[in-house]
Every structure is written in C-alpha cells, then in structure tokens.
Structure 1
Amino acid sequence: MRLLHTADWHIGRRLHGFDLTAEQQQAFEQIESIAQQEQVDGLIIAGDLYDRSAPAEAAVRQLNQMLQQLNLTDKLPIYAISGNHDSSVRLATGTPWFPQTNFYLYTDLQQAFTPIEVADTQIFLLPYFEPFAAQQYFHDESLQHLDQAVAAVITQMKTLFTPGKRHILVAHFFVSGSLQTDSETQLTVGGLAAVPLDLLADFDYVALGHLHGKDALQAQNACYSGSPVKFSLSEAKQNKGVYIIDTETLTRTFHPLTPLRDVQQITASFAELTNPQFYQAQKQDDYIGVTLTDKKPIPNVLTQLRQLYPNLISLTRAEGFEAQFAYQGENGQQLRHKDPLELLADFYEQVAQEELTDQQRQWAAAALKIANKEEQ
C-alpha cells in the first residue's frame, strides 16, 4: 500500500488578520495532484482539519469541497481523525454513512479500537482526546495524565494486532523530544503533556499531527507531516509538504509544496527596507515580518513600510524592552525604589536614544500626579 500522510490543515486560519483561504486552496490542489501522480491508495489526515471548534460557514464549505473532491470525485479512501482544534461533535456529523465511500473519520476514543483492515495493513485511528475520556472508557480514574492514558490505549490496541500485517497508527499529540513553534497549542492544560516515543515502538508507522514542522521529530517509525501552509513567522524557514508512505518497504518520501505566498522574516534598518534596490529584490507579496535595527524612533514607520510591503504582518525592534534592561546591573528591588519619573527617563533614553524633553517631563509628572490621586 502507498498512503499520503498530511495533517494540520487548519481550514479557516488567519495570519495576523490576513485571510489564508487562497493559500490553503492552492496547497490542497498540490496535495491532490501528488496523490494522483503517486497513485496512492488513500490519504491520512492526522487531525486539526479546522482551525477552531466552531468554524465559520466559509471554512466549513471549503473543507467539505476538499473532502468531496478527494473522496467522491477522485475515489480516494480517506483515513482522518479530529485534532485538538476540531470539535469532535461537529466534525462527526455524517460519519455513519462515510465508510460507504471509504471515508473513515474517527472523532471518539472508543472508535480507536476498531482498526481498518486494508490489504496488508491495519490502520488504527486515534482521535485527539483528554485523559478524562480514557478514565471513562477504561473505568479507571488513575489515568490522570496523557502518557498514562495513551499507554492504556496502545496496550488494548496491541491485543487487536493481526499477525503478519503492518500496523499504522494515526494520532494527534505531542511526542517527547519533538520541537515546537509558537503557532502550535501546547498540550499542558489539565494534565496533558508529552507522550513518550517508546510507547509507539510496536507500530510500523505512526502518522502524527499537531506540530507544524516535518522535522519536529526524528524517529525511525514516527513523524509529523507538518502543516501544508505556514501559519506563523516561527515557521518561516520550514519546508512544507506531505509524506508518501510505502507499507511494504516501510519507507517514506517527502514531497514539498510550493506556497502561493511565502512567509519571511527580514531584519534590516529602515533605510535598507526603503531602498528601491533592496525592496524590489524581495517578494513583496509574501507575508513579511520586519525586525528594525534602528535605535531611534521613526515617525509613521508602519504606514511607510506597508506602502512597500503590503502584507507586512509584524514589526518589532531588534532591541526590545527586555534586551534594553538586561544590562542595567540593577535588580528588581533596586528598580522598585527608584523614582517613577527617573525610571521613565531611563527607559525612554534607552529606547529612543535621546533624553526626555522638558515638555515630556511635565506631561509625565502631571499624569503621575493624577494616578497617585486615583490610588488614594
């Protein structure tokens, strides 16, 4: 069997307010093309089909069209699970008749114990769940943490293994040893944490979702496909794509996707950014995060840069607040005993590289006087 492994579509996602519908549609069309060219026997989607539990109507319509294209038009089997961004209840709508077209979408823990038998392979679909669901299923309140719950789940799954067949697990969680970016929700609430990699050792392949980079985990039998679209500046250097898995040889091949608009981080001075030779060499249609190296304030800097970089998504200073105060040599207690106006003057001088004017000092003193009266 040959399977395409993808995950974390996050349909409905926005990037700093910018609509990513076109980017997600273009990535989907590439995934469909790869599936056809590689003549795969099915697609794995390892969770987070939507970006939120209550997706907008446009997002629902877009995902429905994608799934219908793959399953009903292209006649490709789909093996999918719900992720932590999905609403399992909403996503489960229609699932009773999905298997009639070889569309398997598991959204409830108990479904994980019904493996899908295909040719030489058993596919176990494990949707995202919290420990409480495992406590209820196993009638065991000692399953307080995710690693304990997953251990119980996998122990039962292994009793269902058919000897001589390949065993594939599709799951959506954080595996210990993985690398994370700031666009991914950490599973730390309510006792949720990392799943030890050794719990997955008995599966021939584990198709993971949740982390958006394909290199987040280096393991022989498990990997993240990563998201098909970049969702934050922290993903700017990631190569997006999908994996093709061969269950006979247990080899996986990465197929890259070309972004409609890329995400890039630029660190430069305002003079460089506004130099025609510099900005004309950039892909100005990309989503760009700028880190300014200038030390002095620049009037209307955001407005001026947006005229040259219309998809500017972030503007920061190379030397931020924390960096500015890191070398002052004063501890918190010393700072608390300093006069507020003195602190303000120090801070302004470090950020603006110039002293407060007399007028600014008068404004600050007046504001402080009002604040002190309100506290009394």
Structure 2
Amino acid sequence: MRFLHTADWHIGKKLHGYDLLTEQRDAYRQIKAIALQERVDAVVIAGDLYDRALPSEAAVTALDDMLVDLNRRQQLPILAISGNHDSGVRLGYGRQWFASTAFYLKTTVAEGLQPVVMGDTQFFLLPYFEPFAVRQLFDDESIRTEAQAMERLVAAMKEKFDPDKKHVLVAHFFAAGSHHSDSETQVQVGGLNAVPVDLLRDFDYVALGHLHRKEALQHEPTIKYSGSPLKFSTSEAEDTKGVWIVDTDTTPVTVTFKPLTPLHDLVVLEDSFATLLDREHDFPVTADDFIAINLTDTAPIPNVMQRLKERFPKIIELHRVNPLEVALPDLPPERLQADPFALMTDFFSQTTKHALNDQQTRWAQQALQQAMKEDAQ
C-alpha cells in the first residue's frame, strides 16, 4: 500500500487580509501531480480542510473542485478526517454515500474505531475531538484529558487490529514532543491536549494534522505531521512545505518527503529603510510575494509603510528590530518654562538619538504655530 499524506489545507484562509485561494489551488495541483507521479493507491488528508467552520462560498467551491478532481476524475481514493477548524457536521454532510467512490470521510469519534481496509492496510480515521466526546462514547467520567481519551481510543482500535495487515492512524491533535508555529490555533488548556507519542507506537504509521511544520516530530520516523501546503506565518518563512509518501510494503514503513514550490513565497527581509528602497539592491522576491520586514532603522520615518509598499506591494508585517529604550531625565521647574520648540527638539533628540532634519524642523514649526493659534482662539 502506497499513499500520500497531507493535511491542514485551510482552504479559504487569508494572510493578513490577502486571499490565498490562487496559491491554494496551485499547491493542490502540485499535490495531485506528486500523487500521480508516485502512483499512490490513496491520498490521506489529516484534517483542517477548511480554515473555518463556516467557510465562504468561494472556499467551498475551491475545495469541492479539488476533491471531485482527485476522487472522480483521477479516481484516487481519499481518506480524510475533520480538524479543529472544520465543522464536522457541515464537512461530513453526504459522507455516507461518498464511500461509494472510495472517498472515506470521518467526522465523529465513533467512526474512527471502525477501520477502513485498503490493500494490506487498516486505516483508523480519527477526527479532531474533545475529551468530553470520548467520555460520552465510553460512558466513563474518568476521561478528562486528551491523553486519557487517546489511551482509551487506541485500546479500542487495537481490538480491531488484523495481525496480517499494517495499521495506520490518521488523526488531528497535538502530540507530545512537537512544537506549534504562529499560524496554528492553540487548542490546549494547560497542556491538557498533548498526546504522548508512546501511545501511538503500536501503529505502523501515524499520519497527523494540526501542526503546520513537518519538523514538529522530526525525530519520529513513523509518526509524522505533514505540515500545511502553504506558509501561513512568518515563523514558517524558512520552512520547506510538502507531503509525505508512505509505503507500507516494507517493515518498518518507508517514508519519503516530497517538497512543494510556493507560487508566491512568504519572505522575511531585514535591512535599513534606505537599502530596502534602493532599486539597485536586489532582493530574492517578486512583486507577488508576501513580505515581512524587520526594519533596522532607529530614526522615525514618515509614511514608512506606504513608501515600502511602493517596492514591496504585499507587506504583511513590519517590525523594528532596534527599538530605543530611553530613560528621560526629570526636568527642573525652570526648564519646563523653556521655549516649546526647544523642549520638543530636545525630546526628539533624546528619544531617537537623532537631530531634526530640515524637513522635520519645518513640520514641527508649522505644527507648533497651528497649536498656538488654536490655543489663542
């Protein structure tokens, strides 16, 4: 059995107000191409197909196009679960007849206990869950945490293990030892949702969703997050996105990473304002890339964002990496009676470590004159 493991598509997500459907459609085309090139027997999507429980019409149309293309046109079986961003009820509408075309979509915990058998492999499709759902399923009030719930679920799954087949868990949660990135929704309270990876050792492979970086469990050879197909935050700017190809014909299973190339990248640039605006200075970005800027200047820059956008139209973040921490001296009473313009220029110099330039001096004088005029009225 050979399958492709992906997750966290988050169809409909926006990046600081920018629509990502074009980038998401391109990532899907690459995933499909890899699936066909690798001649996989199925595609696993480990949750968070949508970015929100109430997706937009455009997001619904986009995901529908992808799933119809993958399952009906390419005739690839799909094994999918709902994640914490999905509405299980809405996403799962129609799942009873989806299986007629080998599209297995599970959105309830009880469904996760019944394996889907394909070739030499049993797939247990466990959607995102809260502990109370498992507590109700087993009528056991002692189940209070994700770890306790998962221990009970794994025990029930193992009762269904066929010893002549491989066993794959598809799930959506935070596994102990993994790390969040900034674009993920924090769903744990006091760390209660961390599932120890030791609970998962009896599976030949665990296809996880929820964390957006494949490196989240990089030391686990057969327990993997696929990560998201796109970069959703600056903390992922240096990541290589992609999918896993899993072959269960070997013992242990063989796992190979296949990278995706971003249509429009997310890049962090750190430099001075003058260098960033210098057209002679080449940066490895395009006009359509999403840019986060770490500005090294300490002096105030009028209209800084607007001026930077003239060169980098899609700025999503702007930070100053050298903020000044200035302790202003206490002014003696006689100094408080000084000329307002002198006080202002002193304050400016103390806080910025720079003197006013000619243009700033003119602005300050005009503002002061206007303020004094308004006071006189």
The residue that corresponds to 1:156 in the other structure is 156
Over aligned residues, Cα RMSD in angstroms?
2.6
Provide closer, same or farther for how the CA distance between residues 351 and 208 of structure 1 changes in structure 2, counting only shifts above 3 A: farther
Q: CA separation in 2, counterparts of 1:345 and 1:131?
A: 61
Q: CA separation in 2, counterparts of 1:281 and 1:240?
A: 18
Of 191-200 and 153-162, the range deviating more from structure 2: 191-200
Q: CA separation in 2, counterparts of 1:346 and 1:214?
A: 52
The residue that corresponds to 1:287 in the other structure is 290
Q: Does 1:264 align with 2:267?
A: yes
The residue that corresponds to 2:228 in the other structure is 227
| AA of the residue aligned to 1:272 | T
| AA of the residue aligned to 1:144 | R
Mapping for residues 69-88 of structure 1, pairs under 5 Å: 69-88=69-88
Q: Does 1:110 align with 2:110?
A: yes
| AA of the residue aligned to 1:114 | Q
Q: Is the 8 A contact 2:222 2:255 kept in 1?
A: no
Q: CA separation in 1, counterparts of 2:345 and 2:161?
A: 69
CA displacement at 1:285 relative to structure 2: 2.3
The residue that corresponds to 1:210 in the other structure is 210
Provide closer, same or farther for how the CA distance between residues 309 and 351 of structure 1 changes in structure 2, counting only shifts above 3 A: farther
Q: CA separation in 2, counterparts of 1:267 and 1:56?
A: 35
Q: Gaps (5+ residues) in structure 2? A: 328-343, 369-377
CA displacement at 1:283 relative to structure 2: 2.6
Q: CA separation in 2, counterparts of 1:171 and 1:35?
A: 21
Q: Does 1:305 align with 2:308?
A: yes
The residue that corresponds to 2:340 in the other structure is none
Mapping for residues 1-80 of structure 1, pairs under 5 Å: 1-80=1-80
CA displacement at 1:141 relative to structure 2: 1.4
| AA of the residue aligned to 1:259 | P
> Matched residue of 1:153: which SS?
helix
CA displacement at 1:188 relative to structure 2: 1.5
| AA of the residue aligned to 1:237 | E
Provide closer, same or farther for how the CA distance between residues 177 and 270 of structure 1 changes in structure 2, counting only shifts above 3 A: same
- Cα distance per residue 1:352-371 (max 9 Å; x no partner): 335899999x9xxxxxxxxx
The residue that corresponds to 2:240 in the other structure is 239
Mapping for residues 314-325 of structure 1, pairs under 5 Å: 314-320=317-323, 324-325=324-325
The residue that corresponds to 2:140 in the other structure is 140
Q: Is the 8 A contact 1:214 1:226 kept in 2?
A: yes
Provide closer, same or farther for how the CA distance between residues 196 and 305 of structure 1 changes in structure 2, counting only shifts above 3 A: same
- Cα distance per residue 1:183-220 (max 9 Å; x no partner): 01122148742110100000000000011111111202
Q: CA separation in 2, counterparts of 1:355 and 1:270?
A: 18
Give TM-score, length-normalised by structure 2.
0.86
Q: Does 1:167 align with 2:170?
A: no
Of 266-275 and 192-201, the range deviating more from structure 2: 192-201
| AA of the residue aligned to 1:138 | F
Q: Identify the match of residue 255 of structure 2 among 239, 247, 252.
A: 252
Q: CA separation in 2, counterparts of 1:71 and 1:347?
A: 66
Q: CA separation in 1, counterparts of 2:81 and 2:345?
A: 55
Mapping for residues 92-107 of structure 1, pairs under 5 Å: 92-107=92-107
Q: Does 1:276 align with 2:279?
A: yes
The residue that corresponds to 1:337 in the other structure is none
The residue that corresponds to 1:367 in the other structure is none
Q: CA separation in 2, counterparts of 1:217 and 1:12?
A: 27
Of 272-281 and 250-259, the range deviating more from structure 2: 272-281
Q: CA separation in 2, counterparts of 1:170 and 1:9?
A: 15
Provide closer, same or farther for how the CA distance between residues 350 and 108 of structure 1 changes in structure 2, counting only shifts above 3 A: farther
Of 171-180 and 40-49, the range deviating more from structure 2: 171-180
- Cα distance per residue 1:29-83 (max 9 Å; x no partner): 0111111111100000000000001000110010011000000111100000000
Q: Is the 8 A contact 2:267 2:285 kept in 1?
A: no
Larger radius of gyration: 2
CA displacement at 1:346 relative to structure 2: 11
- Cα distance per residue 1:316-368 (max 9 Å; x no partner): 10134xxx45x97xxxxxxxxxxxxxxx99997675335899999x9xxxxxx
> Matched residue of 1:25: which SS?
helix
Q: Is the 8 A contact 2:23 2:264 kept in 1?
A: yes
> Matched residue of 1:289: which SS?
strand
| AA of the residue aligned to 1:251 | T
Q: Is the 8 A contact 1:294 1:317 kept in 2?
A: yes
Give TM-score, length-normalised by structure 1.
0.86
